[in-house]
Structure 1
Amino acid sequence: MKRYFPGEKKLDPSSTAPLDRGPVEFKSRISEHPGDVMKIATRNVVSVPPTTTIMGAAKTMTKYGFRRLPVVDAGSRRLMGIVSTMDIIDFFGGGNRYNLVKNKYGGNLLAAINEEVREIMEENVITITEYYSIKEALKTLRERNVGALPIVNDENQLIGIVTEKDFVFMASEVESFDIFVYECMTRDVRSVRPSVKIRDASKEMIQRGFRRLPVVEDGILVGILTASDIVRYLSTGEAFSKLVTGNIDEALNVPVSEIMSKEVVFISSDVDIAEAARVMMKHDIGALPVIDGDELVGIITERDFIKAMRV
């Protein structure tokens, strides 16, 4: 089943280039006061210690519906790194972290999954302090091209986190921007067929930096594969049900149709971006495929909102 959110104004998406009116004017809601970032930040941050297993981190992500977890020292709460769904996909067969499975464990997934998360986490974390304004946080997200900013105090202790989703929430509270999805969406959409193997889809995600891939068959959108879907496949044990010898290839040589999200929420290109933000928040999703008629013409993501906002 698919949910469709049509626009009210019938516009021609090809008639206006993306963002040709400039970024969204958002000054009325973006505070420039130092320290105001804590007003929108999550303070009780779910984190894991560096000794947590990769499987443990995957289970925590799935439990809370998170795409990333700060890694902190259990005693001092000092930030040591961050691990994301993309890191786990990289480990699972999409990129360089797969070498840990292949070389150290000979491809044995059951053994590799119990490696400590410190082996795959990102150590060079872009952080901000509690003294940042909301404007400075938005600028940092945009310029450093990251999806989240852990907030640390003077002793590098984790005290909060602000994400792209926080700014989409702010956009959802605006009645209308009079700016439409087609002006902000990503038009060059990479998609895969339902028969594509999880391994190949994982590699596509890692190589291109995509957290999601629309699944299209005969020109029709039939599902969407997200990084979280792949992590869930691992964390729930479904991947292990595919194992015969224990080799990770047995879990990866499965079509994406078996784990993709089949109920896709999508939108048309002539919807105001404020309404698009509300749809994303209502369904707790990070992106909306954009469909006009029966054609997939783009995708609008949390990152697209960050790129569009001007302060």
Structure 2
Amino acid sequence: MRRTTSTAAETARPSSDRARFRSLPTRDVMQYGVVSIDMGEPVCKAIQLLLDKHISGLPVTNQGRLAGILSEKDVLKLLYEQEYLPGLVGDYMSRDIVTFDIESPFSDIYDCLTASVYRRVPILHQGRLAGMITRADLIRVYRERLHPPESVPVTPRLRKEFLAQDAMVHGLLTVRKETPLTEVMDILSTRHVTGLPVVDDAMRLEGMITEKDIIRCLDDREACLSTVRDHMTVDVVAFEPTAPLGDVCACLIRRNFRRVPIVRDGRLLGIVARADIIRKMSQVFKLAGANADCN
């Protein structure tokens, strides 16, 4: 085994970082509003929740109190052994679970998630499910609190200098004018989006098709069987990637739409939604708080 030595100066910051990280309050790390399911629900509903919410474990409750966990691994093993899963969630959940109280030292939770096979632990308050902490939460909070992406102090002036591209989401779902409206309905209802950019083969933006556009067609069967071309919104407000994020924010406050396309030379680059701006500014506020704690 190779051993290395470090000077006091080299080890001071990592030790300090580790101590600060482990001393965080549990309530500052955990996820609130956790998706859960009652043990009396059909197991097929739980499986659909795992798939729809892109989560790997589902807390199971009984009259509001945590009763177990149904994980991807549990479901995969069952599906491998059986052709289908009849019955209720309570028939398949794991009852042997490790939990922590919201007042438990975060260092204990950190040690559990790093030393055991568990990827997540439920957090309880007065015996009831209050939240969840996962390994991903450890990484996220460490990054935000101790090694934030911005290397300069966050000031009101800097917040004003954010651009649309700083909050923009890439890898978009898009449709063509020729896309059947029924296909758009499937995307909107299963992918948890409320609008889709309409583009041509060169990714030039041609319009938007939104929930509102679709709803107008629901009482007309013939319209529902038509294509995006007949129902999309052509008059679309769009921004360049270098537009001030404050301008995009003001637009989304004044107008009734929830997102705006980001384009360059007419070609779609991404989308900025209200939630994207909230997420970006929340990161800024957390970073500002972390910087204040360091001073």
Q: Structure 2-normalised TM-score? A: 0.43
Which has the bigger relative contact order, CA under 8 A and spacing at least 6?
1
More helix by share: 2
Q: TM-score normalized by structure 1?
A: 0.41
